[in-house]
Structure 1
């Protein structure tokens, strides 16, 4: 699998007449090599891939040398004086005159340092190349995503008995994190637990607020399984909630039903979101629909394609996307339901 992907990027470099590419995105790095360590931050990387038309290297510091040495397709380069010096030596050895870098992932400070020690190398930014390949999953990736979804569903099954008045949002969020590590590799993202008026904020952060009878609770969670991310949302009713929110929940479920037939190979992505928007417009709640219909899933929890009325693309076999209509009412609350859709 990794050999095929590595050869693909090498052939791409040959076709476009580039000497090499520096990979700094954690997801692209894992996709091409299987290297699993995660970056601490944008200024503290777990490693970089340098790929030329004929060779491949993993550059990292001594903290990750064992992981690097386990990559059979990549020659490890362990640096102790920073990436720039290590890359300088390699560029001279490989006679690199032009080097691509991922402009969405390499910081301006790091790029400045690289240019300083490599004044004769021409640097060019690139974006979206590997991300486009990652969009279409192979059978193994689809299997891993299906497993990640199953784990998320199991957590919801457990939570359905535990989400009760008196528990706080933070307690439920911590429980999700605990279960994500017990069942999988941890959460795909910090879980969202939003109750009462907080549910009017699509990406609300959990608070010490207790759950109360008569409130709606939105829970948005995902689990990582062998690097692949699930993402599901459920709305819970604690007793009798305002009729406005019950009606909104019915509309959201109906919007999902209407959109599903439009998420098939060859169909325009924008049509699914447009159908939902037209339905919400007719129901008089379009102003309460604050985001697009969904997004792609894979090694990252948010990746291409965006499922939006602005999209000019079509669904492809092998894509995995979310279907997540939601309606939000300031001061009252909100509802959202999210499913994963496997395009086959």
Structure 2
């Protein structure tokens, strides 16, 4: 399936006046490769150009992941010395002949860290926004994607159902949030959640994006839980309101 996605992307590049696209760790990279990389202090960037094998710049410690790719990818690895990074990006860009070309980027995802090295490796290139191309690629979901989204919802629902019986008066918001995190993992969520669970009670529940505090749950509190799970790169986002004990009129 991911090979078909790669082919769809390269076909879209040919009709969109883009010579290539670069992707750093995030949903699109996972969608395209089926391999998960997380954002860290070391840059990871996949170069995709029509008619050529993709090239992945990555730290040496991530090299074992190359065997996980469902299609051929050329790896350009660098060591622990940051002075090596620019040369690795230059090698990747040159191997695809990208200097002076139009290289699409994801503005909401690509960090300055990665962009500065790509630009140094292809100083004469232009870097237009490729969001529309990539969004169109992912607009129509296949069965595997729909199944993953449904699984992410079920994991979140099951986790809350397992957490509510553990709730008791005197427990802090932070403690209840911790129990929810445990249940999310037990029920199969990926460890990188869509966002940190929001658990807020009493006056704190009026804040739509509150962080759990040391406030203790009290009888009659209204409790707001805003949380989600992640599964195979797809996420859920749910909100529920319940009472702590009986609520007076």
Contact 1:69 1:76 in 2 (8 A): no
Alignment match of 2:109 (pick from 105, 111, 117): 105
- Match of 2:27? 27
The alignment status of 1:60 with 2:58, answered yes or no, reads yes
- 2: CA distance between counterparts of 1:67 and 1:172? 36
For residues 240-269 of structure 1, the C-alpha deviation after alignment (integer angstroms, 9 at most, x for no partner) is 3354xxxxxxxxxxxxxxxxxxxxxxxxxx
| Equivalent position of 1:38 in the other structure | 38
Deviates more, 1:168-177 or 1:51-60: 51-60
In structure 1, the partner of 2:46 is 49
Other structure's SS at 1:164 match: coil
Q: What does residue range 221-300 of structure 1 map to in structure 2 within 5 Å?
A: 221-241=227-247, 243=249
* Structure 1: unaligned runs, 5 residues or longer: 244-344
CA-CA distance at 1:110 after TM superposition: 4.1
3-state SS in 1 of match to 2:128: strand
Give 1:25 deviation, angstroms: 4.8
* 1:83, distance to aligned residue in structure 2 (A): 4.6
Aligned mates of 1:62, 1:216 — CA distance in 2: 50
Query: TM-score under structure 2 normalisation?
Result: 0.87
TM-score, normalization: structure 1? 0.65
Residues 173, 44 of structure 1: alpha-carbon distance in 2 compared, 3 angstrom cutoff: farther
Residue deviations 1:167-201 (CA, integer Å, cap 9, x gap): 11001111111111222123332111000000001
CA distance in 2, matches of 1:114, 1:125: 15
RMSD: 2.0
Which residue does 2:174 correspond to in 1?
Answer: 170
Q: Which consecutive residues of structure 2, in runs of 5 or more, have no partner in the other structure?
A: none
Q: Number of paired residues?
A: 240
- Equivalent in the alignment of 2:143: 139
Query: How much has 1:227 moved relative to structure 2?
Result: 2.4
CA contact 2:42–2:59 (8 Å) conserved in 1: no
Q: Using the alignment, how far apart are the partners of 2:150 and 2:4 within structure 1?
A: 23
Number of the residue aligned with 1:342: none
- Residues 100, 5 of structure 1: CA spacing in aligned structure 2 closer, same or farther, 3 A cutoff? same
Most deviating of 27-36 and 182-191: 182-191
SS, match of residue 183 in structure 2: helix
> Whose strand proportion is higher, 1 or 2?
1
Quote the residue 1:79 is aligned against.
78
Aligned to 1:88: 90
By how many angstroms is 1:103 displaced? 2.2
Q: 1:125 aligned to 2:129? A: yes
Task: Choose 79-88 or 160-169, whichever is displaced more.
Answer: 79-88
Alpha-carbon separation, structure 2, partners of 1:44 and 1:72: 24
